[in-house]
Structure 1
Amino acid sequence: MKWVNQLQRADEIAFFWLSMHLRRPSGGCLARWISRSGDGYGYVATCLLAFLLQDPIAQPLFLLLLVGFAMELPVYWLLKNTLKRARPCDRVAHFRSLIQASDRFSFPSGHTTAAFLFAGITAALMPALAPWLYAWAAAIGLSRVALGVHYPTDILAGAGLGMALAALTRWLVNGVYL
């Protein structure tokens, strides 16, 4: 288990460096705003806007997101509550996060998982937006580190899980990988 301790130590070093540098420009205000954009309301608003604009992707987007999030929530919850990785503010003495997380454990990042799931599904339907969607999803993950509630590996795991669930969702709904 020596490699696990080494990985944890490297993760903590990366966490402190990133959180310090990512907080500097706005003292965490920008990170709070970016993080909130991944709270879920934006996903619903995107679907509603697509329907209001009578966009032809509205129905497939809604269906894919519905199936994707129906899988994501229990998988994310099961992983988080099985692995039970303590959040940085609970593990590191004298460190305070900028926000209170909505649950106890940090691995994987639920915000990042959801953002990459959304980006992967939406990018398949609107490929021209893919760079923007994935940049936004990455910003969600970095904001969670800046706010002090996740380690970098929580973010990487969330991104990988979100992209895998997006691919699985597209395959299940469409019968083929888009």
Structure 2
Amino acid sequence: MWLQRLGSWDQRCFVALFSRSERKRIHQFSFWCSKTGDGPLYLLLVALFFALELSHASAFTELLLLSFAIELPLYLLLKNSIRRQRPYQLMAGMMQAHIEASDKFSLPSGHTAAAFVVASTLLCFYPEWAWLAFSWAGLIGLSRILLGVHFPLDILAGSSLGVSSCLVAQQILH
């Protein structure tokens, strides 16, 4: 019974947020924000750290890679085990996503998980950037809802997976 209520709450929250994405500027911002969560930008971040000769660039990269090595298999296992339909699949006829999803299932959000891996890793080495990194990661999660490809609980699960993966990786390395 509580699971049904949680699912109902999740859908109501999704509808409340998604209904605001019909404004063109919000849609465009969400699209570009979500794009910053695509994988190639993470490689650019690492390259930038080395190019700027930032202290801890090697340790940052090591923790980031191990965190992703933990996060990615867990993400795939969860996504393909839970097999939660995406909002536009569950609410077919009532709404249409603003983008095409990168895979079939919804929970957890991979974009959000990856963004929180990066934010958590940044926190470990560059705490002065943490507020910016976690704000950016949160915006990626919100953008995935506004684009119609994730429910709020997918975002919560993705953020938890990203942070947890970094914490486990940090324990392994220390």
After TM superposition, the score normalised by the length of structure 2 is 0.95
The answer for the alignment partner of 1:153 in structure 2 is 153
8 Å CA contact 1:31, 1:147 repeated in 2: yes
Is structure 2 residue 54 aligned with structure 1 residue 51?
no
Q: What is the distance in 2 between the residues matched to 1:165 and 1:157?
A: 12
After TM superposition, the score normalised by the length of structure 1 is 0.93
More moved, 157-166 vs 145-154: 157-166
Q: What is the distance in 2 between the residues matched to 1:44 and 1:84?
A: 29
Runs of 4+ aligned residues of structure 1 deviating over 4 Å after TM superposition are none
Is structure 2 residue 99 aligned with structure 1 residue 96?
no
**SS of aligned partner of 2:100:** coil
**SS of aligned partner of 2:25:** coil
Q: What is the distance in 1 between the residues matched to 2:41 and 2:102?
A: 18
Is structure 2 residue 15 aligned with structure 1 residue 26?
no
Gaps of 5+ in 1: none
**SS of aligned partner of 1:26:** helix
Query: RMSD across aligned C-alpha pairs, in angstroms?
Result: 1.1
The 5-angstrom pairing of residues 1-178 of structure 1 reads 2-24=1-23, 26-94=25-93, 95-173=95-173, 175=174
Identity of aligned residues (%): 40
Gaps of 5+ in 2: none
| 1:120-176 CA distance string (max 9 Å, x none) | 011110000010000000000000000000000000111111111111111111x1x
| 1:41-69 CA distance string (max 9 Å, x none) | 22111110111111122111111111111
More moved, 48-57 vs 131-140: 48-57
Deviation at 1:22, TM superposition (A): 4.2
